[in-house]
Amino acid sequence: MHSNVYTPENAAMLLIDHQVGTMSWTHSHNLDEVKRNALQLAKIATAVGMPLVLTSSMEENIQGPLLPEFKEIAPRAFADRIKRAGIVNAMHDANFNKAVKATGRKKVVVAGITTEVCVVFPVLQLLDEGYEVQVVTDASASFTKMGDDAALRRMEQAGAVMTSTAQIISELAIDWTTPRGQALSKLMGLAT
């Protein structure tokens, strides 16, 4: 197996600021698709036992609460979510930083709202700290398409790998004929 393949045993999922208010600010992608993909990532991580770290910023303000569906999909991660007090780079929040390190994983999958504010800076720091990072582009969005493109290019030039929800789920499945692969296939709606 190729050494850079992400598996549930060697990677963690970080979902940043998928909040009711922040989601409404995005115009770079279809909002329903971004929401569906973010929730699917949480569902998949939970199903395969992959560490899942959720974070939000200023839930009591205009950013609003984390998407309520996370509570049903990933109750433990939702309860343990890191509520930041306005810190833009989530890695600068001591509790989030500690939660990421506590996963024990050096490969991370990241998605969030907005790409150009809440995703780019933690990704750049994670790369600086020696993490391998995949950014899920269709579970992230920005104020504008141009802003989203600039953030994605900046992260890619720094060493992050751009991916999609279907691509990372397929990578995590490894083999669709295994019990894990079949379970993920069902969660993706590809099997009955």
| Segment 140-171, tens digit of pLDDT | 999 999 999 999 999 999 999 999 999 999 99
Instruction: Identify whether 127 is part of a domain.
Output: yes
pLDDT-derived band at 2 (thresholds 50, 70, 90) equals very low
Instruction: Identify whether 21 is part of a domain.
Output: yes
CATH of the domain at 133: 3.40.50.850
Identify the active-site residue in 42, 44, 53, 118: 118
Judge whether 118 counts as a catalytic residue: yes
For residue 138, what are the domain limits?
Answer: 11-187
Instruction: Identify whether 192 is part of a domain.
Output: no
DSSP assignment string, the chain = --TT---TTTEEEEEE--BHHHHHT--SS-HHHHHHHHHHHHHHHHHHT--EEEEEE-TTSTT-PBPTHHHHHSHHHHHT-EEESS-SSGGGSHHHHHHHHHT--SEEEEEEB-IIIIIHHHHHHHHHTT-EEEEEGGG-B-SSHHHHHHHHHHHHHHT-EEE-HHHHHHHHHS-TTSHHHHHHHHHTTS--
CA atoms in the 13 A half-sphere facing the CB of 102? 11
Backbone conformation region of residue 130, classed left if phi is above 0, alpha if psi is from -120 to 50, else beta: left
| Segment 66-120, tens digit of pLDDT | 999 999 999 999 999 999 998 999 999 999 999 999 999 999 999 999 999 999 9
**Residue 188 class from Cβ within 10 Å (0-12 exposed, 13-18 middle, 19+ buried)?**
middle
Instruction: Identify whether 3 is part of a domain.
Output: no
- What gap in Å lies between CA 129 and CA 25, rounded to an integer? 30
Instruction: Identify whether 121 is part of a domain.
Output: yes
pTM of the model as a whole: 0.94
Answer whether 56's CB lies under 8 Å from 63's CB.
yes
| Segment 11-39, tens digit of pLDDT | 999 999 999 988 888 889 999 999 999 99
Instruction: Identify whether 169 is part of a domain.
Output: yes
Instruction: Identify whether 6 is part of a domain.
Output: no
Instruction: Identify whether 5 is part of a domain.
Output: no
Query: CA 95: distance to chain centroid?
Result: 17
Q: According to the model, what pLDDT value does residue 81 have?
A: 97
Please say if the pLDDT value at position 1 is more than 60: no
Domain count, the chain: 1
